[in-house]
Amino acid sequence: MSPLNNEQSESIVKRIVFIELELRDLDEYKDLVFEAYQRNRKTQRNVERILENIANATIDIAKIILASEEIVMPQTYRETFEKLSEIDILDESLAKELAHLSRTRNVLAHQYLDIKWEMINELLISGRKRIEEFLQIVRERI
């Protein structure tokens, strides 16, 4: 990975701190079940907004890294993570998981009526581990 300039490093650090705060807030919902999610609009909004915030900040970090590498910005968020894999910053498995996070972000951001509980539940159960893995890789490189 090419060295980041000070502005890029500071921007990434701010986003890491933000993601860590959001992950702590998400802990409140770690045992959330579909019935509770479905019947409580406040819970739905909180969980969806936290996940969207995490996804957006993760995407921002990926884009900052690609910019530091002077790589043409991909057209989709999914491709952003794939590109990080292509340049050996992420392994292919993690890149695919984070690409899935970007898909979930799109569903949440555009408020599709057919939001799938499975997508949200998967992030509640296993997404945190992958996000933390990404953050650790980024920390080691800044």
CA dist 63 → 27, 32, 47, 56, 71 (Å):
27, 31, 24, 10, 9
Domain assignment of residue 14, yes or no: yes
Structural domains in the chain (count): 1
Domain assignment of residue 1, yes or no: no
Domain assignment of residue 108, yes or no: yes
Where in the sequence is the domain holding 118, given as residue range(s)?
A: 6-141
Domain assignment of residue 80, yes or no: yes
Domain assignment of residue 128, yes or no: yes
Predicted pLDDT at 112: 64
Domain assignment of residue 78, yes or no: yes
Please state, in angstroms and rounded to a whole number, the distance separating the CA atoms of residues 26 and 8.
Answer: 27
Domain assignment of residue 75, yes or no: yes
Tens digits of pLDDT across the chain (142 residues) = 678 889 999 999 999 999 999 999 999 999 999 999 989 999 999 999 999 999 999 999 999 999 999 888 999 989 999 999 999 999 999 999 999 888 888 888 777 656 778 888 888 888 889 999 999 999 988 8
Domain assignment of residue 66, yes or no: yes
Which residues, including other chains, have CB under 8 Å from residue 100's CB and lie 6 or more apart? 122
Q: What CATH number is associated with residue 49? A: 1.20.120.580
